[in-house]
Structure 1
Amino acid sequence: MSLKHFDVTADGEVDLKITPDGAASAEPITVMQRFKETVEKVGDRPALCVSRDGAWQQWTWRDFYEDVKMAGRAFIKLGLDAHHAVGIIGFNSPEWFIADLGAIFAGGFATGIYTTNGPEAIEYVVNHSKTQIIVAEDKKQLDKILQVHQNFEHLKAIVLYNDTVPDVECTVPILDWDEFMRHGADVPDFELGHRMSVQKPGQCCMLIYTSGTTGNPKGVMITHDNVTWTSATLAASLPNMTFGKEHIVSYLPLSHIAAQILDMHAPMILGATVWFAQPTALKGTLVQTLQEVRPTVFLGVPRVWEKIEEKMRAVGSETTGLKKKIGTWAKRKGLDGAYAIQQGRPVPSGWGVAKKLVFSKVRKALGLDRCKFFATAAAPISKDTLEYFLSINIPIMEVYGMSENTGPQSLNIPGKHRTGSVGLPLAGTELKIHEPDQDGNGEICFRGRHICKGYMYNEEKTRESIDAEGWLHSGDIGRVDEDGYLYITGRIKEIIITAGGENVAPVPIENLVKENCPIISNCMLIGDRRKFLSLLVCLKSEVDPETTAPLDELTPQTIEILEAQGSKAKTVTEAMDDEHVLKYIQAGIDEANKHAVSRAQKVQKFKILPRDFSVPGGELGPTLKLRRPIVVKQYEELIDSFYA
């Protein structure tokens, strides 16, 4: 009898891939059981800390557990049914954690909603997940919810956790946080206990919404075993961790799997303390929090590391004289020493002096002097940035994975680290390269207890991703070297992953721009590993009837539209720098941007190309499918100029 590898129903259960021995042989456990174990071990130690009104407020692990149970009872009283969702939208906070775990305790699904989502995107997630209760941070988020709340099919209540409830019309009750936490006081403990006890490790407890190439996000169903096994295995992989003594700063979006595992569930394994950054963390206050907290583990998406690098380079450029010479010498020793350590060779002479004079001071200035594990994930990072930090003895470990495998699939760790690779497979997981080419490159596939239950209510997409043998097909291209290190070499999917780690489906945005700007024939979104989205634009022009190659002459319809805008352009060449043309295209992009589900999905810059995409030009394939890598290569200098 074959194992049941996936199930897309809300209450279904999958078979667990438990092995006779090794990391995957661990006894399956639910989130509630894991939480209780931690409370029994370190109940009086601090679990959560948040700075409010100039002082740090603290929850011990026991306080945290009791608040989660209170939230669970309140959700039951508000009408949360088993296997339905609680949607949470807001910046990281103790209330976010309490609502998330309270939903799970009550038998529901914790479902994060990105704070940058617009009303339409919120409406889709809320209805698709059958969300019955929304927990929102403030009036700003509430305003978006109220714009579409009459379209919600299952909503029973809204909870506001960091603001007062405004006097507004709403079809469901709106409670403030204190009122919510008191709301379930008369729900018996045994009712909550029953909700907790009937849940199985192979059932869903969390939904992570991830973008697809055709628009609407898919709801990745994460089981109890996915969460508890993966976070425990990850924690066991980290270097020199001491139970009850670790410190983590929470600032990355909790609607993303990386923050869910590193901020919420791994600390539960480690009995660690989670310190919440300010909502302005990514606008400049993160380093201040790091200096106060001095975390022992720190994860930054590439854009965070890039921002730190930019500031440090700016400071370095102002340094002069002997101090500059020492810094330059130290960084050279640092990079040589870092690669020596990776390769098992002795560090160069002077490395110890450089560490004492420069590296230790840099770490202290950043608040990373206690940090044992520096990591990056969620998007690719440039080798230049990795080597910059290597040169100052901050070895950033790349971690690779996706929502569908509960976060980490492979990772570098101190002692097992190769810059440029995404490391070795997580213990207890399997990895293979599907149909490798002559260079060993093929689709990266993985299997194990970390693979999700499927995409909620979407069996077709689930079958496309998880095959009959339980292998998850990532859509990424990679190779494995002779020592087992994985290298990412490409991406099958067209999904753009920005430098900030947000997934962007390009086709819907491109189509929307074309809809709002009828002079555009083709356009291509740029933004992979970049700070923002930009657009390459092709105008509608005449085509050589024999070769089908695009000509410089604009089509009559295009000329007519442009004349109405005050332009005299008759050719692509004339239109490229015509202010009337540029203004018209910008207006179309602005209109398309109004439909963006988040700020990260708005187009910031564009450029008209000298010719349209075509089969003869190589930009289009035989079926007229856009060959994105070819276009990127053709216009590499132009693309780089967007971000210079």
Structure 2
Amino acid sequence: MEFTQAPAVMIADHAQLTDPVWDNADKHPNVVQFVTPARNISCAEFREEVASVASGLREAGVKPGDRVALMSKTRYEWTLIDYAIWAAGAITVPVYETSSAEQVQWILSDSGAVACFTETAAHSALVREFVNTVWQIPDLPRGTADFERHRGQADDPATIVYTSGTTGRPKGCVLTHRNMLSDIGNAIPVLPRLFHQGSSTVLFLPLAHAFARLLQIGVVQGRVTTLHTADVKDLVSDLGAFKPSFILSVPRVFEKVYNGAKQRAHADGKGAIFDRAERVAIAYSESLDSGGPGFALKMQHKLFDKLVYGKLRAALGGRCHSAISGGAPLGARLGHFFRGIGLLVLEGYGLTETSPAITFNREDAQRIGSVGQPLPGVSVRIADDGEILAKGEVVFSGYWNNVEATKEVLDDEGWFHTGDLGALDSDGFLTITGRKKEIIVTAGGKNVAPAVLEDRVRAHPLVSQCMVIGDRKPFIAALVTIDAEALPDTPLTDSDLRARVQEAIDEANKAVSKAEAIKVFRILPRDFTEATGELTPSLKVKRAVVMKEYSDEIDAIYGS
């Protein structure tokens, strides 16, 4: 199967990511582009600040084509520095602020970075071992007012994003101005409710990740008023105060919103009401795809909108009508639940190598449970072995200094091999079915895609992570971690906890055959975290790390 969408826009050969900054300042100088705790920043002021820092970079000796690293949490200065690097003609190299010394050394040395921006004194001390020029936020280089931004080619590299990867050393994905402009330029026309002047959002995901970076480019191009926040602990209060019209998030945040609301309802003795409201929300959403709700369902939905749904929307600020979800599977259940309460969650799919979005759902073309249709200008093909292939201007030009790795994923016809498995329906909606390299083959020869089971187990309020195992083993098993925040005030006994997790296992097993079902599970003593090495910065499970860390538990499961 193959499906292609005609491009909505074409990128000119001299187009640059800084073009919207200069255009907005000329045509809409007084529109508020960014909101910070100290002040509002207009389009004109943003251009002035970008030009000032870019001029400072140039005076410091940074030349077009030089790589400049940026190691910081999400904040306004991250966006300012990113655009200033581009205005100077240089290439941004994002570094997660949680990166280890070894990872930082590799990224800075492999990219050949000539300078680095940091956020903390600890970051500065770390990177000074590898680069000579370091600027610590908020002390940024400032140059003369007389500045002419660099005007390069659309195919010039704009950024090198090192994929965190679930195994091995990070590889540097080279994304050009054309790659990123094509991605957002073709997304904005089919997301009219989101990216426009008067719209607003809170940007809280790490900007070192390509997913959040795409939103950053979108809010500038669409003049969306944006608040940056790095601390997820402040997110609820920031949402309540700022009242965004849409947000970008990952499924784990949506799961926590849902699980937290359900937990509070049950703790307050209103569990039965919430559970009924949940069923009505899902049924209401499902009915929208099959002729619409009947009278009785409409009345129930209206009642629960007053009792439950309105309060959930209020937690997001009360004005939030849409959300974009990516980075991991959301699942049909959560998608229907949130649409049923009045929040349209538009799930998409892509990889760092594809700038990153290649498919997404949109308001007028949505199929919950899928990751949507190809972006305008993108072709998606399903190979004979089920692998998802992508082609278009959004596909990267290759890995930095790594020709062999590039050849492994880019074929002679320009198709990018994602490593993911999926299926296309007749309307071009893509469904992800698993990861090619993560397919489990049991001792009996049964092929099992872990994602189907893992997503369903994680849907349980008490479960944080689930990793399905069983490669070359006689049966399928699972390692499960518990979400400590979801535990009830009254401690559960071990048997009670196992019984609750068994409920999640039983529900997941309904989606597969008996040969694919989870037969045994182990509850691990702690959750997976990035700090302890089991999760990537984008919260993907490092399967090899978990397998090694918990080899004793795995051996016990299989009697090794």
TM-score computed with the length of structure 1 as normaliser: 0.67
Match of 1:274 in 2: 226
Match of 1:294 in 2: 243
Deviation (angstroms), 1:593: 5.7
Alpha-carbon contact 1:135-1:161 (below 8 Å) kept = yes
Separation of aligned partners in 2, 1:469 and 1:338: 41
Alpha-carbon contact 2:5-2:379 (below 8 Å) kept = no
Alpha-carbon contact 2:74-2:228 (below 8 Å) kept = yes
SS at match of 2:437: coil
Match of 1:23 in 2: 8
Change (3 A) 1:243 1:388: closer
The within-5 A match list for 1:538-617 is 606=550, 608-609=552-553, 611=555
1:36 aligns with 2:22: yes
Match of 2:392 in 1: 448
Change (3 A) 1:372 1:144: same
Aligned-residue RMSD, C-alpha: 3.6
Separation of aligned partners in 2, 1:414 and 1:401: 19
Change (3 A) 1:400 1:42: same
Change (3 A) 1:295 1:355: farther
Alpha-carbon contact 2:179-2:395 (below 8 Å) kept = yes
Match of 1:558 in 2: none
Separation of aligned partners in 2, 1:234 and 1:300: 17
Deviation (angstroms), 1:349: 2.9
Indicate which of 427, 434, 445 corresponds to 2:383: 434
Deviation (angstroms), 1:203: 1.2
Alpha-carbon contact 1:239-1:413 (below 8 Å) kept = no
Change (3 A) 1:533 1:116: farther
Alpha-carbon contact 2:241-2:317 (below 8 Å) kept = no
1:159 aligns with 2:159: no
Alpha-carbon contact 2:381-2:389 (below 8 Å) kept = yes
Indicate which of 126, 135, 139 corresponds to 1:144: 126
Indicate which of 349, 359, 383 corresponds to 1:400: 349
Match of 1:473 in 2: 417
1:409 aligns with 2:358: yes
Alpha-carbon contact 1:338-1:390 (below 8 Å) kept = yes
Separation of aligned partners in 2, 1:430 and 1:454: 18
Match of 1:552 in 2: none
1:70 aligns with 2:52: yes
Match of 1:333 in 2: 280
**C-alpha distance after superposition, 1:331-376 (max 9, x if no partner):** 3322111011133434533155236414552244212432232221
Which is worse superposed, 332-341 or 113-122? Answer: 332-341
Q: How many residues align?
A: 476
Separation of aligned partners in 1, 2:368 and 2:310: 24
Which is worse superposed, 236-245 or 95-104? Answer: 236-245
1:424 aligns with 2:373: yes
Change (3 A) 1:127 1:605: closer
Amino acid at match of 1:333: V
Deviation (angstroms), 1:88: 0.8
Change (3 A) 1:533 1:86: farther
Separation of aligned partners in 1, 2:288 and 2:304: 14
**C-alpha distance after superposition, 1:47-69 (max 9, x if no partner):** 11122xxxx42211111111111
The within-5 A match list for 1:326-405 is 326-346=273-293, 348-350=297-299, 353-354=302-303, 356-358=305-307, 361-405=310-354
Alpha-carbon contact 2:198-2:224 (below 8 Å) kept = yes
Separation of aligned partners in 2, 1:231 and 1:495: 32
1:204 aligns with 2:157: yes
Separation of aligned partners in 1, 2:466 and 2:312: 32
Alpha-carbon contact 2:324-2:347 (below 8 Å) kept = yes
Alpha-carbon contact 1:244-1:271 (below 8 Å) kept = yes
Separation of aligned partners in 2, 1:353 and 1:214: 49
Separation of aligned partners in 2, 1:410 and 1:231: 12
Deviation (angstroms), 1:414: 2.4
SS at match of 2:426: coil
Change (3 A) 1:415 1:359: farther
1:112 aligns with 2:98: no
SS at match of 1:489: strand
Indicate which of 68, 83, 97 corresponds to 1:101: 83
SS at match of 2:244: coil
Alpha-carbon contact 1:400-1:408 (below 8 Å) kept = yes
Change (3 A) 1:349 1:273: closer
Separation of aligned partners in 1, 2:11 and 2:291: 32
Deviation (angstroms), 1:70: 0.9
SS at match of 1:350: helix
Change (3 A) 1:67 1:334: same
Match of 2:508 in 1: none
TM-score computed with the length of structure 2 as normaliser: 0.77
**C-alpha distance after superposition, 1:97-135 (max 9, x if no partner):** 111111111111111100110111101111111111110
Separation of aligned partners in 2, 1:407 and 1:286: 24
Amino acid at match of 1:237: V
Unpaired runs of at least 5, structure 2: 441-452, 459-463, 475-524
Alpha-carbon contact 1:110-1:207 (below 8 Å) kept = yes
Match of 1:234 in 2: 187
Change (3 A) 1:448 1:594: closer
Alpha-carbon contact 2:454-2:468 (below 8 Å) kept = no
Match of 2:144 in 1: 185
Change (3 A) 1:449 1:535: closer
Alpha-carbon contact 1:421-1:488 (below 8 Å) kept = yes
SS at match of 2:125: helix
**% same residue:** 24
Alpha-carbon contact 2:250-2:325 (below 8 Å) kept = yes
SS at match of 1:417: coil
**C-alpha distance after superposition, 1:391-441 (max 9, x if no partner):** 4333422110011111211111223222221111112211111115xxxxx
Alpha-carbon contact 2:206-2:212 (below 8 Å) kept = yes
Alpha-carbon contact 1:338-1:393 (below 8 Å) kept = no
SS at match of 2:18: helix
Deviation (angstroms), 1:251: 1.0
